[in-house]
Amino acid sequence: MVLRLAIFDCDGTLVDSQADITLAMEAAFAAHALPAPPRAQIRRIVGLSLAEAIRRLSPDCDAETGASLVQAYKDAFRARRATGVLEEPLYDGIATLIADLDAAGWLLGVATGKSDRGLAHCLDRHGLTGHFLSLQTADRHPSKPDPSMIEACLAAAGADRAATVMIGDTAYDMAMAINAGVCAIGVDWGYHPRDELFAAGAQAVAGSVGELRLLLKALEA
């Protein structure tokens, strides 16, 4: 029996977290009396590890300021969670898709720029935790597109690269999949446009959860 592994990005793929990420980033820059980057620019760094995201958003700041911005972002995001205003809604159809893939025998993993705490809270809130056998985050890996998170998922699942697919909404996800030698499928409801996903190596880009389901079904053949 072939062990098929589907690895999902989280932000922009499973959940729409752009509002929370943008507001937390703006709060971090405001805490340092720095002008916040444009929201379109913040959207583009979603998926990277936080330290790498800050480096791209504020390339001229020194290491100390960069580290302080990282902490300020974490503090702002946790404050949103603690006060109950954190949203991170699931995209329509995702919960059913995950449950159906699990029931069909797919092994499931997550590879995300979130922290361990952030991912655990997100999946638990939506009742998805039990479906995933491997949860890989920026706490324990280099930033995407380094293939480290995919390699860890492969090891945990005991799956073959040829039977593994990475699903994500950014060019970073697609490049990570290519670097790991696995199939790359993009989704266009997230934060990078279709043309960038294809340019980064996507073999297909789903325009809806239903279309993603069909693409994954085709891989079972």
11 has catalytic annotation: yes
Gyration radius of the chain's alpha carbons: 17
* Contact of 126 with 15, CB cutoff 8 Å: yes
What distance in Å separates the CA atoms of residue 2 and residue 201, rounded to the nearest whole number?
Answer: 24
- Residue 48's beta-bridge partner residues? 46
- Which single residue is written with the structure tokens 């890989």? 136
End-to-end CA, the chain: 13
Please report, for residues 7, 10, 203, the alpha-carbon distance to residue 200 in angstroms, rounded to integers and kept in the order given.
17, 18, 10
Q: Which two tokens stand for residue 118?
A: 């952030």
160 has catalytic annotation: no
- The sign one gets for the Cα dihedral 93, 220, 109, 151 is negative
Catalytic residue of the set 9, 20, 169, 173: 9
What distance in Å separates the CA atoms of residue 186 and residue 199, rounded to the nearest whole number?
Answer: 11
The residues carrying an active-site annotation are 9, 11
